[in-house]
Amino acid sequence: MIWAYRATNTGTDIESTRRIIDEFGFLWRNLYNTKGLLIPNVQHIKIGHILFVYFSNDNLIGSYEVSLHHLSGVLWSCGQ
């Protein structure tokens, strides 16, 4: 399965996001919103899926294969 993931500068900027993914191999986001509801589709991403990660201004950061999925966070371990 292929997904598009749009990152925003709420947590960090585009260069820091790219560096964290490339150097440390992970992307993390909340599974639940501030009302405690599941964020649509986040819980459906699984090991082996491909994430095309974009920043809020539609700049492509890269494409990554999910190699670890931890649902308490969500933490995705990603490799190009």
Report pLDDT digits (tens) over 6-31: 888 877 888 888 888 888 877 777 77
Report pLDDT digits (tens) over 26-80: 777 777 888 988 888 887 888 888 989 888 878 888 888 887 766 554 555 555 4
**Residue count of the chain:** 80
Q: pTM score > 0.95 for this model? A: no
Question: CB of 78 within 8 A of CB of 67?
Answer: yes
Was domain 2-79 assigned CATH 2.60.40?
Answer: no
- The helix (H) or strand (E) run that includes residue 12 is none
Residue 2 banded pLDDT, cuts 50, 70, 90: very high
